[in-house]
Amino acid sequence: MNIVVCVKQVPDTWSEKRLDPEDSTLDREATDPVMNEMDEYAVEEALRLQETHGGEVTILCMGPDSATQTVRKALSMGGDRAVHVVDDALHGSDAVATSLVLARAIETIDAVDLVLLGSESSDARMSVVPAMLAERLGRAQLTFAKEVTVDGPTVTIKRLTDDGYQVVEGTTPAVVSVVEKINEPRYPSFKGIMSAKKKPVQTYAVADLGIDPGEVGLSGAWTSVESFELAPPRESGRVVTDDGNGADRLAEKLVEFLASKKFV
C-alpha cells in the first residue's frame, strides 16, 4: 500500500505569533519553525500501516526552503522518499490554493492508496485542507480519525464527534486526517536521522505541477486581510489567596464574584 503523508512546517506553538505588517501574512522570521504536531501523528500512522501492509511512504511538504528541516524530520522518523514543493510564488497562499498544490503534487506520485495528514495545523487552525483535498482528488474523505483500519481496499475510521464517534468507511484511494489520540509518534532514532540524509527528495516549483503561479500565493488568494490589530490585553483581575480561613472563605468570595456577574 502506497501512502503519501502531507506535513506542514509551522511556528513552534510556544513562540509568540504575529502578523507581518507589510503583507498581513504570518511572520515566520519571528518564530522557531517545527513540524506541525498533528502531522507527526499522521507520519506515525503511515509508518505503522506500512509495517503491516508494505508499500512506500512518501512525505509531501509545501513550504519555503527552510521547510527542508521538517521534510528531514519526517524522513528521520521513517518513510522512503519526499516531495517538496518550494516556490517563492507560494508565499501567502490560502487554504484553497494549498489544497490545489497538494492535489497536483499527489497526482505526480504513482499508485497512491492513501493520503494521510493531520486534522489541523497549529498556526492557521482551519481544519479545511483534508476536506478540500478529498474534494479535488474525488476520493473518500475520512477525517478526524482516532483509529484507522485498512482491510484490502476498504478503509474504516472512527471519526471523533462531539459526543463519541462515527464509523466511516470508504475504499482506497482515500484521504485520511488524524487526531492526536490515534497513536504515540516515535522519536527519530540516530540511525533514522543518518539515513534520512540519503533519502531522495524531489523538489517541484508550482509551474512543474502545471499550476499558474498567479493562482497561488498572496495575489492568487480568494480571501484578503483588510486590517488587523493586536487585541487589547485582558485587564488583570482579582486574585485571592488562602488567608488561613481555608476553602470555604475562598469559595464564598468566588460565589460573590459569580453573583455580581449574574452567573448565579
Partner 1 sequence: MAEVLILVEHADGEVKKVTGELLTLAARVGEPSAVFVGDGFDTARATLAAHGAVKVYVADDPELSAYLVAPVAELLSALVTEVSPAAVLLASSAAGKEIAARLAVKSGSGVLTDATDLSADSGTVTAEQQVFGGSTVVRSAVTRGTPVVTVRPNSVAAVQATGAAERVEVSVELTATATAARITDRVVEDRAERPELSEAAIVVSGGRGVGSGENFTVIEALADALGAAVGASRAATDAGWYPHQHQVGQTGKTVSPQLYVAAGISGAIQHRAGMQTSKTIVAINKDPDAPIFELVDFGVVGDLHQVVPALTEKVRARKGGP
Residues in the chain: 264
Q: How far is the CB of 99 from partner 1 (least distance, A)?
A: 7
Q: How far is the CB of 101 from partner 1 (least distance, A)?
A: 13
Q: Is 28 in the site for partner 1 (CB under 8 A)?
A: no
Closer to partner 1 at the Cβ: 126 or 194?
126
- How does strand 57-62 pair with strand 3-7? parallel
C-alpha dist (Å) from residue 237 to 69, 135, 254, 257, 261 = 42, 47, 12, 11, 13
Q: Report the Cα–Cα distance between both ends of the chain, in Å, rounded.
A: 58
DSSP of 110-165, one letter per residue?
Answer: TT--EEEEES--TTT----HHHHHHHHHT-EEEEEEEEEEEETTEEEEEEEETTEE
Closer to partner 1 at the Cβ: 10 or 71?
10
Q: How far is the CB of 75 from partner 1 (least distance, A)?
A: 24
Cell matching residue 19: 502578523
Closer to partner 1 at the Cβ: 200 or 228?
228
Closer to partner 1 at the Cβ: 124 or 205?
124
- Interface residues for partner 1 in 73-102 (CB under 8 A)? 94-96, 99
Measured from the Cβ of residue 119, the count of other Cβ atoms closer than 10 Å reads: 23
**Is 202:81 a contact under the CB 8 Å cutoff?**
yes
Q: Is 200 in the site for partner 1 (CB under 8 A)?
A: no
Provide φ and ψ at 35, rounded to 5°: -75, 135
Closer to partner 1 at the Cβ: 169 or 212?
169
Q: Is 30 in the site for partner 1 (CB under 8 A)?
A: no
Closer to partner 1 at the Cβ: 50 or 121?
121
How many Å separate Cα 198 from the centre of its chain?
25
DSSP 26: B
- Interface residues for partner 1 in 164-193 (CB under 8 A)? 164-171, 174, 179-181
Question: Pick from 22, 151, 234, 244: which binds partner 1 (CB under 8 A)?
Answer: 234
Q: How far is the CB of 211 from partner 1 (least distance, A)?
A: 15
- Interface residues for partner 1 in 111-140 (CB under 8 A)? 120, 122, 125-132, 134-136, 138-140
